């Protein structure tokens, strides 16, 4: 059972979801759950970004697949349709936004994982897909998808977790700084398994999510022991 803030390997992420993830955009992958994999790391292939202190993610659509004799995918408009006429992942997410805008469906629920290191991911929580558009990037058109964080995200197992306020979301830059500082291990025991980004002073007691000094890495055992008490 993965909760927001948990650090997982690619293998652990796939095992939790029960699928072998092969792409970054996954519309209704399993049990009608949609999923995206994002990255804000230097050199990331897509221009994803976070706004409003983590309340909003603007996720870039995906390129055409690279083929042996085909053009560079970065020079081609991002596709809404496959050559067969079926919707691409861009198209499926765009269609969900159109149905939401027209009042025909609720906003699509999307689970978001963020890559912070090769093979290392953080579960950012559950978001709602509320808007989408196309914009010019260089000489081509790309899709942009706007997602807003849900107040009380469900666990991946379907159970309801404790209420999570928007400002609990730790900015990507802080995650990267803390991961490097703490060397990717629990600060109390050195474990590299079942890690979690933890607030030293809990958010419920006024602790900041934006100050790296207030964020540390704990293993599951020490995270559960700490709960909301200040040490």
pLDDT for 201: 86
* Cα(48)–Cα(66) distance, integer angstroms: 20
10-residue averages of pLDDT along the chain (231 residues): 84 84 90 89 90 89 91 95 96 98 95 90 93 96 96 45 54 85 92 89 81 91 70 51
Closest CA to 89 of 10, 28, 32: 28
Q: Which domains does the chain have, with CATH numbers?
A: 6-169 (2.30.280.10), 170-231 (no CATH)
Q: pTM for this structure?
A: 0.81
Q: What is the pLDDT of residue 167?
A: 59
Position 78 scores a pLDDT of 97
pLDDT confidence of residue 9: 87
How much is the pLDDT for 168?
Answer: 60
| Residue 96 backbone phi and psi in degrees, to 5 | -65, -40
> Are the beta carbons of 11 and 121 closer than 8 angstroms?
no
pLDDT of residue 101: 96
pLDDT in tens, 141-190: 999 999 999 864 444 444 334 444 455 678 878 888 898 899 999 999 99
CA atoms of 172 and 155, how far apart (whole Å) = 21
Q: How far apart are CA 185 and CA 194, in angstroms?
A: 10
| CB proximity list for 71: less than 8 A, separation 6 or greater | none
């Amino acid at each position: 059972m993965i909760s927001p803030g948990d650090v997982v390997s690619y293998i652990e992420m796939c095992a939790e979801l029960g699928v072998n993830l092969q792409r970054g955009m996954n519309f209704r992958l399993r049990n009608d759950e949609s999923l995206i994999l994002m990255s804000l790391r230097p050199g990331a292939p897509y221009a994803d970004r976070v706004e409003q202190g983590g309340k909003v993610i603007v996720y870039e659509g995906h390129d055409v697949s690279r083929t042996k004799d085909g053009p560079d995918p970065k020079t081609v408009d991002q596709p809404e349709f496959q050559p067969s006429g079926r919707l691409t992942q861009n198209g499926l997410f765009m269609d969900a936004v159109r149905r939401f805008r027209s009042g025909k469906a609720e906003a699509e629920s999307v689970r978001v994982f963020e890559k912070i290191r090769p093979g290392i991911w953080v579960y950012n929580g559950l978001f709602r897909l509320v808007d989408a558009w196309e914009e010019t990037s260089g000489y081509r058109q790309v899709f942009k998808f706007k997602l807003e964080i849900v107040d009380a995200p469900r666990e991946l197992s379907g159970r309801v977790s404790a209420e999570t306020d928007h400002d609990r979301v730790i900015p990507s830059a802080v995650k990267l700084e803390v991961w490097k500082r703490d060397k990717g291990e629990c600060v109390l025991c050195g474990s590299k398994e079942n890690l979690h980004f933890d607030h030293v002073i809990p958010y419920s007691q006024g602790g900041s999510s934006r100050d790296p000094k207030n964020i540390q890495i704990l293993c599951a055992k020490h995270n559960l022991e700490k709960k909301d008490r200040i040490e």
